[in-house]
Amino acid sequence: MRQNGFDLKCNVKVDISIVIPAFNEAKRLPLFLHRVISYCNRSKKTYQIIVVDDGSMDKTWEVATSYKTRFSDLGTIRIRKNRGKGYAVKRGLLESKGKIGVFLDADGSVEPWEIEKNLHYLEEGYDIFVGSRVLRGKEQILRVKWYRKLIGLVFNFFVHIFLFKNIEDTQCGFKMFRKEVVKPLFSRSYLEGFGFDIEILYLAHKMGYRVKEGPVSWHHVSGSKINLFTDSIKMFFNILQVRNWHCTPINPLAKYLGPDEYNYMYELENYHWWFVSRRKLVVHLIKSLNISSPTILDAGSGTGGILLVFSKLGETFGIDVSEQAIEFCTKRGLNKVTQCPVEEIAYMDKTFDVIACLDLLEHVSSPVEALGELKRVLKDEGKIIITVPAFRILWSQHDEALCHLRRYEKDSLRRDLQEAGLRVEKMGYFFFTSFFAVAPIRIMRRFIVSGQRPHSDTTTLPPKVLNEFLKILFELEIKVADNFGLPVGTTIYAVISKGD
């Protein structure tokens, strides 16, 4: 497979995938890759090696690709611009094929033989194994600088206070995951830098996954990319961010909207002020493109209400991964809606003039992969209209009810778009007026734990007078957003074109 910097070819069945995040590692990577490949060739297990080049400015990419002739199941992912170790590990593990996913630092501070030495923990029923430089073992060899020990002790003291108490060393660059827990964990993570470990472990703690910490040998290697002063400050701040972002209960088994949410959407989509206003915004954006009789794809059609409106603008098609959604679309008389994931769109290259991707990206585990597929089916001069929920701080039971995996900031959406090779033509906020009512309510609701099943905020219709007033208000807001832009809102919208 090769797209958007991916080059991952491997056997159909892989026991273990090794992910190596690398940023400007052209000098240190060859020696470590040699040791990893030698280890994999000697093992009875089948291995896949994935080197993730995190926007390196040296020859890291060329070094990694040169080793493909020495190990047939070595793949590479090239990230266009440096985003951080956390993002590189996330991309690698989400693309991995093994029953077990492991990440090892490119400096070789932990040797690959620690994998099968500790593999039995996952075979015994644990979901995650965390390598530790704090716990002691019989054959363990440690060469850790004293200042790293001190910083690590202080950092983990605060982790124990604010997040969890059962892990003594959260930052060791060696962790193993069963495949079944990789998507639920990493698709919900935000942190892209060195603090990502604590977010993943906190999510695992909240989801009830079984975590085993065990001693591993570790030795200091010169040339570290960590700035012990600035990165330590960022990581202490990350502790507070993680606690704030993930304060609501998490259901790792929820994948699609429940039957109730689909029913509410089907019944209210043509009347509720939120659905009506978002639809008017999108129609306005499509009309402003001045494309005569466009061929339109609605990616993530839901119950089909907006697809009916699109049919008045041009020839329309829809896709949705949910069988329930397809049934509701059929109920509306829509017969050009295909059941397929957005990562594997069942249409030929360069088919559509306009693609509407409305509140969909927050549902997919790998947004860059989904965006790459949207780019594939978009005509060269076509446009993509995107809407996503805004601001992580607004996360609440509303998002859990809708099976969201994330909320976006402008910068995070822009980075994903750029990584997929797309260009932002226009980006702004919508639902500015309601932001000031919604924000305090959602923030307060996050700290109220209810035993009831969560419901979204659009399951009931407001009083008729208020509902009509809000429709008029947000119709005016469309004009303001279009001409002047808005400073905040509960939704981010964007008009996108092909970048390369």
Asked if residue 449 has pLDDT above 70, the reply is: no
pLDDT of 136-161, one tens digit each? 888 777 776 766 677 777 888 899 99
CA distance 156 to 162: 10
The larger pLDDT score, comparing residue 465 to residue 143, is at: 465
Average confidence (pLDDT) over 473-492: 95
Pairing mode, strands 6-7 and 74-79: antiparallel
CA distance 326 to 318: 9
Q: How confident is the model at residue 452 (pLDDT cuts 50, 70, 90)?
A: low
Domain 259-498: CATH class, spelled out: alpha beta
pLDDT of 50-97, one tens digit each? 999 999 999 999 999 999 999 999 999 999 999 999 999 999 999 999
Lowest mean pLDDT across 36-40, 247-251, 436-440, 483-487: 247-251
pTM, 2 dp: 0.90
Lowest mean pLDDT across 251-265, 289-303, 321-335, 478-492: 251-265
CATH architecture of 6-245: Alpha-Beta Complex (3.90)
pLDDT of 213-223, one tens digit each? 999 998 877 66
Asked if residue 385 has pLDDT above 90, the reply is: yes
For the chain, the three-class secondary structure string (H helix, E strand, C coil) is: CCCCCEECCCCCCCCEEEEEEECCCCCCHHHHHHHHHHHHHHCCCCEEEEEEEECCCCCHHHHHHHHHHCCCCEEEEEECCCCCHHHHHHHHHHHCCCCEEEEECCCCCCCCCHHHHHHHHHHCCCCEEEEECCCCCCCCCEECCHHHHHHHHHHHHHHHHHCCCCCCCCCCCEEEEEHHHHHHHHCCCCCCCCCHHHHHHHHHHHHCCCEEEEECCEECCCCCCCCCCHHHHHHHHHHHHHHHHCCCCCCCCCCCCCHHHHHHHHHHCCCCHHHHHHHHHHHHHHHCCCCCCCEEEEECCCCCHHHHHHCCCCEEEEEECCHHHHHHHHHCCCCCEEECCHHHCCCCCCCEEEEEEECCHHHCCCHHHHHHHHHHHEEEEEEEEEEEEECHHHCCHHHHHCCCCCCECHHHHHHHHHHCCEEEEEEEEECHHHHHHHHHHHHHHCCCCCCCCCCCCCCCCCCHHHHHHHHHHHHHHHHHHHHCCCCCCCEEEEEEEECC
Q: Which of 82, 77, 39 is nearest to 58 (CA)?
A: 82
CA distance 190 to 199: 8
CA distance 267 to 262: 9
Angle at 345 between CA 343 and CA 348, to 5 degrees: 135
Predicted pLDDT at 3: 41
Q: How confident is the model at residue 388 (pLDDT cuts 50, 70, 90)?
A: very high
Lowest mean pLDDT across 200-209, 423-432, 446-455: 446-455
Predicted pLDDT at 459: 85
Q: Which residue has the tokens 């995951």?
A: 177
Percent of the chain with pLDDT over 70: 92
pLDDT of 337-373, one tens digit each? 999 999 999 999 999 999 999 999 999 999 999 999 9
Provide the residue ranges of all domains of the chain, joining segments of one domain with +. Answer: 6-245, 259-498
Asked if residue 226 has pLDDT above 70, the reply is: no
CA distance 172 to 169: 6
